[in-house]
């Protein structure tokens, strides 16, 4: 009998991840603040729960992927939350991009209740979630990591144990730092190509396979050229991640000027109403692409 799975947060990423779990035959208990976002999953066999508490009472391995650290706090520490209602030997896996400090707090509180807690943020966006090819960065007890690896493999490919509690979140900050300045470079290259009278599509063919190549270049430039700014990852969530990274860097007395610039540019776009667009909408910072 497959272990029962709980999944809290069935948005852009979570929905596809639950589908993979259902396809593999796992019984999946789901909760989402907006029930309408879960209707399709229920029709495919997922079991709807009315609260995180109900998920905790039914599932042995519980995933969470919600919006912000305060959402994580509510799901884990609220009176109807996971820690108050979880069963001993349950495994909680937070895949939200949150703070390393909060990941450690959840781990310590879970340990008091004989519950295992893992921080396992992901990268790969909506495409990776749909294709089951997410990168998963794991922090927590290594023994528990090996226990849950078969489940993580349902929707991830590059799954790497990084170290003790909080290490997964620190690794995700490294990921977001690299993406932030890379997206500036991708967009500036497109703007330059257009100003120079080049065909951006043929420019992409030339530069994507060389030293300038990157996931963002290959996956987001076609969307930009098609005028597709639907979120694989929301700008508002990216701003949240950059704030976390800058706060953590400040604790280490580490200046990150490139990240600070990217955050400023994205915040300006958010003020113009682009907070719910995908991160590729950074191109709109340049009027030539409006």
131 and 10 share one domain: yes
Per the structure, the complete domain to which residue 275 belongs is given by: 170-289
**For residue 58, what is the domain's CATH number?**
3.40.50.720
The tens-digit pLDDT sequence of the chain (290 residues) is 578 999 999 988 999 999 999 999 999 999 999 888 889 999 999 999 999 999 999 999 999 999 899 999 999 998 899 999 999 999 999 999 999 999 999 999 999 999 999 999 999 888 899 999 999 999 999 999 999 999 999 999 999 999 999 999 999 999 999 999 999 999 999 999 999 999 999 999 999 999 999 999 999 999 999 999 999 889 999 999 999 999 999 999 999 999 999 999 999 999 999 999 999 999 999 976 65
Q: Are residues 182 and 243 in the same domain?
A: yes
Residues with Cβ within 8 Å of residue 202, at least 6 apart in sequence: none
Place of tokens 């609220």: 78
End-of-domain residue from the set 164, 181, 215: 164
Helices (H), 158-234: 167-195, 200-207, 215-225
Tell me whether residue 130 is one of the annotated catalytic residues.
Answer: no
Final residue in a domain of this structure, among 138, 164, 190: 164
pTM: 0.90
The Cα–Cα gap between 198 and 149 comes to 47
By residue count, the chain amounts to: 290
Are 22 and 64 within one domain?
Answer: yes
**Do residue 69 and residue 131 come from a single domain?**
yes
Q: What is the pLDDT of residue 3?
A: 87
Question: In terms of domains, do 116 and 183 share one?
Answer: no
Specify whether 46 is located in the same domain as 146: yes
**Within this chain, do residues 109 and 242 fall inside the same structural domain, yes or no?**
no
The structural domain count of the chain equals 2
pLDDT score for 212: 95
Instruction: CATH number of the domain at 180, please.
Output: 1.10.1040.10
Active-site entry in 172, 240, 263, 284: 172
């Amino acid at each position: 009998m497959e272990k029962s799975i709980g999944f809290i947060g069935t948005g852009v990423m979570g929905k596809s991840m639950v589908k993979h779990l259902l396809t593999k035959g796992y019984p999946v208990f789901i909760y989402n603040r907006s029930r309408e976002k879960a209707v399709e999953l229920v029709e495919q066999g997922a079991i709807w729960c009315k609260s995180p508490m109900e998920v905790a009472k039914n599932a042995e391995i519980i995933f969470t992927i919600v919006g912000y650290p305060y959402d994580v706090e509510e799901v884990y520490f609220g009176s109807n939350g996971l820690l108050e209602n979880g069963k001993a030997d349950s495994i909680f896996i937070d895949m939200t991009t949150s703070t390393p400090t909060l990941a450690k707090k959840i781990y310590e509180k879970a340990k008091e209740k004989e519950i295992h807690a893992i921080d396992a943020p992901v990268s790969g966006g909506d495409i990776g979630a749909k294709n089951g090819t997410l990168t998963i960065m794991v922090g927590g007890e290594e023994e528990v990591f090996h226990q849950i690896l078969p489940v993580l493999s349902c929707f991830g490919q590059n799954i790497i144990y990084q170290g003790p509690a909080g290490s997964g979140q620190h690794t995700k900050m490294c990921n977001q730092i690299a993406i932030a300045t890379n997206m500036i470079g991708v967009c500036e290259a497109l703007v330059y190509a257009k100003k120079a009278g080049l065909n951006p599509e043929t420019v992409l063919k030339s530069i994507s396979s060389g030293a300038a190549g990157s996931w963002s270049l290959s996956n987001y430039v076609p969307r930009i050229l098609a005028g597709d700014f639907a979120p694989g990852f929301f700008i508002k969530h990216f701003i949240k991640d950059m704030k976390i990274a800058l706060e953590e860097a400040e604790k280490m007395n580490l200046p990150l000027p490139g990240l600070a610039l990217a955050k400023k540019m994205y915040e300006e776009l958010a003020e113009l109403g682009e907070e719910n667009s995908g991160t590729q909408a950074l191109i709109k910072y340049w009027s030539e692409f409006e």
